Amino acid sequence: MIPLSWYMALAAILFAIGTYGFLIRRNIIIMMLSIELMLNAVNINMVAMSHYLDSLTGHVFTLFIITVAAAEAAIGLGLIIVLFRNKKSVYVDQINELKG
Partner 1 sequence: MLNQFAFLYCASVIIGTALLAVRFKNPVYSVLSVLVLFFHMGGLYLLLNAEFIAAVQVIVYAGAILVLYLFVLFLVSLKDEIKIDRFVNNRRLATAASVGFGICLLYIIPSFKLGAKGDFTVERITNLTHTKAMGFELYSTFLLPFEVAGLILLIAVIGGLVLARKEDEVQK
Provide, rounded to whole angstroms, the least separation between the CB of residue 9 and partner 1: 6
Contacts of range 87-95, beta carbons closer than 8 Å, 24 or more positions apart: 90/27, 90/28, 90/29, 91/26, 91/27, 91/28, 92/26, 92/28, 92/31, 93/26
Site for partner 1 in 18-37 (CB under 8 A): 18-21, 23-27, 29-30, 32-34, 36-37
12 near partner 1, rule: CB under 8 A:
yes
Report the distance separating Cα 76 and Cα 31, nearest Å. Answer: 11
Site for partner 1 in 53-92 (CB under 8 A): 53-57, 59-60, 62-64, 66-75, 77-82, 84-85, 88, 90-92
| Number of residues forming the site for partner 1 (CB under 8 A) | 72
96 near partner 1, rule: CB under 8 A:
no
Identity of the amino acid at 36: E
